[in-house]
Structures are given as C-alpha cells and as structure tokens.
C-alpha cells in the first residue's frame, strides 16, 4: 500500500526508480513533490520518508458505475533514496515479485 497522511491505496507497479498507485478521496495537493511511504501487510514491512516527484496523475478508467468514488492513479519517481531505503526497497520488491501487488 502507498501511504501518507492523505493517501492509502494499492500499489499497481513498483521498481527501484518509482511506483504507480491508486487512491481515492480528496484530491492531493497540486504539487510536484511529496513524501510517501510503502506498507506491505503480508511481511509487515513499512518504508517511510520516501521523497517523490509526481510524473503523472489521472482518473482511473476502471471506476465502477455503482460506487460513487472517483479512483485516481498517480505515478511517482523516487528521489534521493538513502542506502538504507534502497536496500529496504529491494527487499520489498523481491517479496512482492512472488505475491500479487
């Protein structure tokens, strides 16, 4: 899950360079930069304090017509990951490669 005080949403794709996640609810601030975290419930792993730059933000075309929630998709690039964050991210990606995101 992608997490921060305004986001809780499933990760759709992730790499060492960035990730794509879905979220709903209020719009996120129209800013290019944000801090985000990653939570993997299966392994109870959390990685916080990831600085990102928004690459793309758009409304999902997979919205259900009977649920009045607008789902959005955001692509972010990771910025200035520390060595510890890089190692933790590698472990997360490795664990997710055997599971479904």
Which residue in the block uniquely carries the two structure tokens 């060492």?
Answer: 16
Q: Which domain holds residue 17?
A: 2-97
Q: How many structural domains does the chain have?
A: 1
Whole-prediction pTM value? 0.80
**Cα dihedral 76→81→83→89 (10° resolution):** -20
Sign of CA pseudo-dihedral 37, 40, 41, 46:
negative
Tens-place pLDDT, residues 46-96 = 999 999 999 988 777 665 566 666 788 999 999 999 999 999 999 999 887
We report the CATH number of the domain holding residue 13 as 2.40.10.220
Tens-place pLDDT, residues 8-34 = 899 999 999 999 999 876 666 666 889
């Amino acid at each position: 899950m992608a997490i921060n005080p305004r986001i809780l949403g499933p990760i759709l794709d992730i790499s060492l360079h960035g990730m794509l996640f879905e979220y709903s609810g209020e719009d996120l601030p129209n800013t290019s930069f944000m801090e985000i975290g990653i939570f993997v419930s299966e392994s109870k792993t959390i990685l916080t304090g990831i600085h990102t730059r928004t690459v793309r933000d758009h409304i999902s075309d997979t919205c259900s017509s009977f649920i009045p929630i607008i789902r959005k998709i955001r692509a972010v690039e990771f910025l200035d990951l520390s060595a510890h964050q890089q190692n933790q991210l590698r472990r997360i990606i490795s664990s997710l490669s055997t599971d479904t995101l």
